[in-house]
Amino acid sequence: MNLGRVAAVSFKEWREVTRDRMFLLLAFCMPAVWMFVFGYGLVLDVENISFVVVDRDHSSLSRDYLYRFYQSRYFSFQGELTGEGKADAWLQSGKARAVIILPEKFQERLLSGQPAKVQTLIDGTFPLRADITKGYVIAINNAFNMDLLADHLGRTRGLSHDEAIRRTRPLGLEVRYLYNEEVRSAWSTVPALIMFSLMVSSPLLTALGLVREKETGSIYNIYSATVSRMEFLVGKLVPYVMISAVNAMVLWLMAVFLFAVPFKGNLLLFFATSVLFVLTSTGIGLVVSLLVSTQQAALIITVVVSTVPTILFSGLIVPVSSLSQAAQFQAHLFPGMYYTNIVRGTFLKNVGPAVLWPDVLALAIYAAVLGTIGYRLFTKRPSV
Amino acid sequence: MRASDRLTVWCRRIAVMTRKELLQLFRDVPLMGFLIYSFTLSVYVTGNGIQTQLKNAGLLVSDADRSVSSRELISRFHPPYFRFDGELTHPNEGFLRLDRGSSMMVLDIPSRFHEALAAGEPTAVQLLVDTTNSPQGLSAAGYAARIVGQFSQELIMTRNGQTGSSSTTVPMILSDHRVWFNQDQNETWFESISHLLRMVTIFAVLLPAAALVREKERGTVEQLLVSPLTPAQIMLPKVVAMTLVILGATAVALFGVMLPVFGVPIRGSIALLFCLTAVFIVATAGIGVFASTVTKNQAQVGMMTLLVVAPMLLLSGIFTPLETMPAWVRYLMALSPLRYFIEIATGILLKGIGLEMLWSQALSMVALGGSLFGFGMWRFRRQFE
Query: What is the full DSSP assignment across B185-198?
Result: --HHHHHHHHHHHH
Residues of chain B with Cβ-Cβ distance to A328 below 8 Å are 49
Q: What share of chain A is helix, strand, coil (3-state, %, to 5)?
A: 70, 10, 20
Alpha carbon of A270 to those of A245, A276, A320, A343: distances in Å? 12, 10, 21, 7
Whether residues B190 and A175 touch (CB distance < 8 A) is answered with no
Scored b (16 or more CB within 10 A) or e, A283-295 reads bbbbbbbbbbbbb
Do B214 and A22 lie within an 8 Å CB cutoff?
no
| Helices A336-344, A267-291: inter-axial angle, 10-degree rounding | 170
CB B64 within 8 A of CB B126: no
Measured between beta carbons, the chain A residues lying within 8 angstroms of B42 are 304, 308
Pick from A325, A310, A240: nearest CA to A279: A240
Residues pairing with A77 in the sheet: A51
Exposure pattern of B108-127 as b/e (b: 16+ CB <10 Å)?
A: bbeeebbebbeeeeebbbeb
DSSP H stretches of helix in A2-126? 3-19, 21-41, 60-71, 87-93, 106-111
Best residue in B131, B167, B170 for a mutation probing chain A (most A CBs within 10 Å):
B131
User: How many angstroms away from the CA of A336 is the closest CA of chain B?
Assistant: 15
**Contact call for A351 and B100, based on CB within 8 A:** yes
Best A73, A178, A290 member to test B by mutation, with max B CBs in 10 Å, is A178
Contact list in A for residue B34 (CB cut-off 8 A) is 297, 300-301, 304
Find the helix or strand (DSSP H, E) in which B239 lies. Answer: helix B231-252
pLDDT in tens, B140-188: 898 998 899 888 888 877 776 654 444 446 778 888 888 888 877 788 8
- Cβ–Cβ below 8 Å for B174 and A116: yes
**Complex prediction ipTM:** 0.86
Q: How far apart are CA B209 and CA B305, in angstroms?
A: 8
> What's the whole-model pTM score?
0.88
d(CA A230, nearest CA chain B) in Å:
24
| Shortest alpha-carbon distance between residue B339 and chain A (Å) | 13
> What is the C-alpha radius of gyration for chain A, rounded to an integer number of angstroms?
29
Which residue ranges in chain A fall short of pLDDT 50? none
Q: How far is B207 from chain A (nearest CA, A)?
A: 7
Residue B365 · residue B341 · CB < 8 Å? yes
Compute the nearest-CA separation of B1 from chain A (Å): 39
Interchain CB contact of A358 with B (< 8 Å): no
Q: Determine, for residues B34 and A149 on separate chains, whether the beta-carbon distance falls below 8 Å.
A: no
pLDDT at A384: 58
C-alpha B136/C-alpha A340 separation (Å) is 15
Among residues of chain B, what percentage have pLDDT more than 70? 96
Query: Contact B303/A204, CB-based, under 8 Å?
Result: yes
Q: Across the interface, which of A45, A201, A303 has its CB nearest the CB of B324?
A: A45
In this predicted structure, what is the pLDDT of residue A1? 77
Inter-chain residue contact A204 with B323, CB threshold 8 Å: no
Give every CB contact of residue B295 below 8 A, 6+ residues apart in sequence.
Answer: A22, B213, B301, B304
Give the per-residue pLDDT at B166: 46
What pLDDT sits at residue A178?
87
Strand partners, B100: none
Q: Which residues contact A26 (CB under 8 A, 6 or more apart)?
A: B300, B303, B304, B307
Per-window interface: A 303-342 vs B, CB < 8 A = 303-304, 307-308, 311-313, 315, 317-319, 321-324, 326-328, 330, 341
Q: How sure is the predictor about B228, in pLDDT bands with cuts at 50, 70 and 90?
A: confident
Q: Which residues contact B229 (CB under 8 A, 6 or more apart)?
A: B13, B17
Chain B contact set for A324 (CB, 8 A): 48-49, 51
Min Cα distance A91 → chain B (Å) is 9
pLDDT of residue B299: 85
CA distance B255 to B209: 28
Distance CA B298, CA A38 (A): 26
Within 8 A of B192 by CB-CB distance, chain A residues are: none
Mean pLDDT throughout B269-287? 94
3-state secondary structure of B30: helix
How far away is chain A from the Cα of B57, in angstroms, using its nearest Cα? 7
Instruction: Calculate how close chain A gets to B255, using CA atoms only, in Å.
Output: 20
Residues A380 and A326: their CA atoms lie apart, in Å, by 38
Give the span between the Cα atoms of A191 and A265, in whole angstroms.
12
CA distance B146 to A135: 8
Residue of chain B whose alpha carbon sits nearest to that of A32: B307
Question: Which of A114, A132, A171, A183 would you mutate first to test chain B, the one with the most B CBs within 10 A?
Answer: A171
* Number of A–B residue contacts, CB under 8 Å: 415
In terms of Cβ atoms closer than 10 Å to its own Cβ (0-12, 13-18, 19+), residue A60 is exposed
Q: Average pLDDT for residues B354-373, to the nearest whole number?
A: 91
As to burial, measured by CB atoms within 10 angstroms (0-12 exposed, 13-18 middle, 19+ buried), residue A3 is: exposed
Q: Which residues contact A140 (CB under 8 A, 6 or more apart)?
A: A68, A69, A72
Spatial distance between the Cα atoms of A323 and A336, rounded to a whole number of angstroms: 15
In this predicted structure, what is the pLDDT of residue A327? 87
Question: How far from A169 is each of A116, B138, B153, B272, CA to CA, in Å?
Answer: 21, 22, 8, 54
Quote the percentage of chain B above a pLDDT of 90. Answer: 37
More confident residue, A155 or B111: B111
Predicted pLDDT of residue B169: 66
Nearest to B171 among A110, A200, A315 (CB): A110
Q: Dump pLDDT digits (tens) for B184-226.
A: 778 889 999 999 999 999 999 999 888 888 888 888 888 888 8
Nearest chain A residue to B198, by CA: A308
Q: Is A218 on the interface with B (CB under 8 A)?
A: no
Which of B53, B83, B298 shows the shortest C-beta gap to A208? Answer: B298
Q: Of B51, B179, B302, which has the smallest distance from its Cβ to A318's Cβ?
A: B51
Contacts of A281 in chain B (CB under 8 A): none
- Inspect the interface and report whether the beta carbons of B179 and A65 lie closer than 8 Å: no
Of the residues A123, A289, A296, A328, the best mutation for testing chain B's interface (the one with the most B CB atoms within 10 Å of its CB) is: A296
